[in-house]
């Protein structure tokens, strides 16, 4: 399973290469341990709903940006573990700059940041751009005094948003069929789903569909992941985690906070935990792949204007 670490980060690096990660193995081990212990206690932290600003996505209220990839998993996990009331986080300095202060004795959460640096390429001897992995510490808004935010109205209509997201993706994506259970068939590029009425709520239907859509982004015509693992036992955790993460990102984008109908069994979660412990970089890889998968689906969203022009 040692074949993806470099690629993991090359993905998040985009066109940039990745600076040697030597000495950073502990970063991955620490992150993997945090998530694996939540799974061992029977909780997939990304399945815990968060209401509130930012649609339940961990975000930074200073930059207005969402925390992505593995940081999203770390911060969801921290909020669940420590009982925070929201998933918004600031660095110590950002809190200060916004007129707040981190309460004395509060322990921050360590996230992973990729810093662009320029270094000499050892082979070609020329300067090249790289990404360097570093740790940063952030604090939840619950740990910071003196900050006040106006609650903006949320205007998102979750089911309508989910319907639109699915329609836009399927317009040029896989076929959708009705069947007895939910699965994705790579060779046919088709998603099979039980009818909407077979689910207790529309939220549950879309949560399941988002998971299968997550798998479908791995098709060779899209992000081209290895889908041969689907339905096989060994290395199943890899692709399953990607689909899990993609579904969680898409749910957050559609504003869905309920509806994970299929609760994973403790044995299933323990299986993931052992895979993550076996290869601590699996989690970082799966989170960045899940993010890419969700971004791919979200990129298919058409604006109202385009839609009427196309109709």
Dihedral of CA 136/140/141/146: which sign?
Answer: negative
Supply the minimum distance, in Å, between the C-beta of residue 105 and Zn ion.
42
Q: Which is nearer to Zn ion, 111 or 243 (CB)?
A: 243
* Per-residue DSSP letter, 49: -
Nearer to Zn ion, 71 or 289 (CB): 289
Backbone angles phi, psi at 274, to 5 degrees: -70, -35
Tell me if 56 sits within 8 A of 254, measured CB to CB.
Answer: no
Shortest approach of Zn ion to residue 63 CB, angstroms? 33
- Helices vs. strands in the chain: H and E counts, helices first: 10, 11
Q: Give the nearer residue to Zn ion in terms of CB position, either 92 or 183.
A: 183
Closest approach, Cβ 211 to Zn ion, in A, equals 6
Strand ranges in 175-285 using DSSP code E only, listed in sequence order? 175-178, 183-185, 190-193
Name the minimum Å distance from CB 255 to Zn ion.
23
Q: How many Cα atoms sit within 13 Å of 249 on the Cβ side? A: 29
How far is the CA of 29 from the CAs of 23, 190, 281, in angstroms? 12, 37, 8
Residues 6 or more apart whose CB falls under 8 angstroms from that of 35 comprise: 45, 73, 74, 77, 273, 276, 283
Contacts with Zn ion by CB under 5 A lie at 243
From residue 280, give the alpha-carbon distance in Å to each of 24, 145, 268, 276: 11, 35, 18, 5
Q: How far is the CB of 247 from Zn ion (least distance, A)?
A: 9
Nearest approach, Cβ of 259 to Zn ion (angstroms)?
16
**Nearest-approach distance from CB 229 to Zn ion, in angstroms:** 10
Radius of gyration of the chain from Cα atoms?
20
Q: Which is nearer to Zn ion, 9 or 243 (CB)?
A: 243
Residue (71 or 208) nearer to Zn ion, CB: 208
Cβ atoms of 273 and 40 within 8 Å: the answer is yes
If the CB atoms of residues 136 and 182 are measured against Zn ion, the closer one turns out to be: 182
Chain residue at closest Cβ approach to Zn ion: 243
When the beta carbons of 86 and 237 are compared against Zn ion, the nearer one is: 237
């Amino acid at each position: 399973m040692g074949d993806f670490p470099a690629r993991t980060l090359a993905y998040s690096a985009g066109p940039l290469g990745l600076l040697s990660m030597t000495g950073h193995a502990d970063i991955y081990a620490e992150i993997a341990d945090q998530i694996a212990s939540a799974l061992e206690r029977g909780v997939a932290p990304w399945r815990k709903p968060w209401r509130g600003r930012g649609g339940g996505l961990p975000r930074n209220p200073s930059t207005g940006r969402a925390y992505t990839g593995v940081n999203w998993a770390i911060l969801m996990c921290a909020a669940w573990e420590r009982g925070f009331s929201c998933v918004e986080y600031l660095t110590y300095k950002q809190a200060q700059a916004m007129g707040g202060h981190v309460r004395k004795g509060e322990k921050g959460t360590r996230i992973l940041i990729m810093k662009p640096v320029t270094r000499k390429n050892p082979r070609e001897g020329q300067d090249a751009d790289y990404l360097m992995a570093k740790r940063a510490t952030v604090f939840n808004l619950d740990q910071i005094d003196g900050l006040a935010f106006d609650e903006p109205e949320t205007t998102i209509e979750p089911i309508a948003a989910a319907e639109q997201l699915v329609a836009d993706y399927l317009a040029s994506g896989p076929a959708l069929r009705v069947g007895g259970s939910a699965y994705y068939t790579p060779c046919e590029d088709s998603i099979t789903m039980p009818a909407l009425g077979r689910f207790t709520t529309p939220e549950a239907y879309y949560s399941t569909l988002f998971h299968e859509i997550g798998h479908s982004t791995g098709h060779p015509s899209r992000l081209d992941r290895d889908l041969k693992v689907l339905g096989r036992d060994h290395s199943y955790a890899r692709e399953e985690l990607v689909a899990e993460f993609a579904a969680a990102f898409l749910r957050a984008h559609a504003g869905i906070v309920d509806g994970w109908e299929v609760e994973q069994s403790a044995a299933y979660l323990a299986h993931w935990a052992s895979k993550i412990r076996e290869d601590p970089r699996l989690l970082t890889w799966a989170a960045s792949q899940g993010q890419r998968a969700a971004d791919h689906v979200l990129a298919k969203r058409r604006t109202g204007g385009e839609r009427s022009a196309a109709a």
